[in-house]
Amino acid sequence: MLMKPLCHSLCIIISLLSLHAQTVSGDDILMRVDRAMNSKTRIITSTMVIHGRRDSRTVESVSHQRGTNDAFTEYLAPAREKGTKMLKLNDMLWTYSPSADRTILISQHMLRQSVMGSDLSYEDMMEDPHLPNLYSAVVSSEDTVKERACWVLDLSAKKDDIAYYSRRVWIDKVRYIILREHLFAKSGKLLKTVDITDMINVQNRWTIKSALYKDVFKEGKGTEFYINSIRFDEVIPDHIFTKASLRR
């Protein structure tokens, strides 16, 4: 006699869970992505393999990041790039060239230029990584990427002065990590694609291990980005995030 009420209760619970899964909003998913991907600080050593029209080259760097506003990057290899540094403080970006012993403020008209000849621009580096600050999101469909079930979100810019007016992003349903991105101009023209090729669990959180960035207007197969090591929530001295650190 108890089986019938029990089955009825289970059916109600399953229906409610199913309804919740169907009605989860794009903005809610984007907020969860934001919580999963951001941290107080990060220290990252990385390698970029930049594939040009005729040849490829490898660039190595170490980056200290504090929140979403401050970042200090030093290039370690190849020899001709070694000692080049970049400092981002809020909406300001400086570069230091050891060969010229000169510090340059990257002005607005230079932001779309390529970083080290890669498929990433200075504008990409300056963008606020808190996507909910920049975009409204709707769930457009579901898909599978790298055997991971994903939501497909269409993002629309909340303001005009933004590098990519709209995006289509594939979000891992369990890990809340972006696995693929298509980035568009206001006209709707595709500008850039990003494909996450591998992930890793560090300090009980999932993060990107490698990715392929492709500027559709550049020749070559794109820029492969590899994270060699990453540490979250480390104490980083304040002096790292100063202009004086560029010449040290």
- All domains of the chain in start order, with CATH: 26-247 (2.50.20.10)
> pLDDT tens digits for the chain (248 residues)?
544 544 454 444 444 444 344 568 999 999 999 988 888 999 999 999 999 888 999 999 999 999 888 999 999 999 999 999 999 998 899 999 999 999 999 987 788 889 999 999 988 887 777 899 899 999 999 999 999 999 999 999 998 888 899 999 999 999 999 999 999 999 999 999 999 999 999 999 999 999 999 999 998 899 999 999 999 999 999 999 999 999 88
Instruction: Specify burial of residue 196 (Cβ count, 10 A radius: 0-12, 13-18, 19+).
Output: buried
- Closest of 181, 190, 193 to residue 143, by C-alpha: 181
DSSP string across 225-239: EEEEEEEES----GG
Q: What pLDDT does residue 16 have?
A: 40
Model-level pTM?
Answer: 0.86
Asked whether 68 and 52 are in contact (CB, 8 A), the reply is no
Identify the residue whose tokens are 């023209």: 189
Structure tokens belonging to residue 27: 């903005």
Could you tell me the two tokens for 40? 């107080």
Q: How far, CA to CA in Å, does 79 sit from each of 60, 75, 95, 99, 114?
A: 10, 9, 17, 11, 19
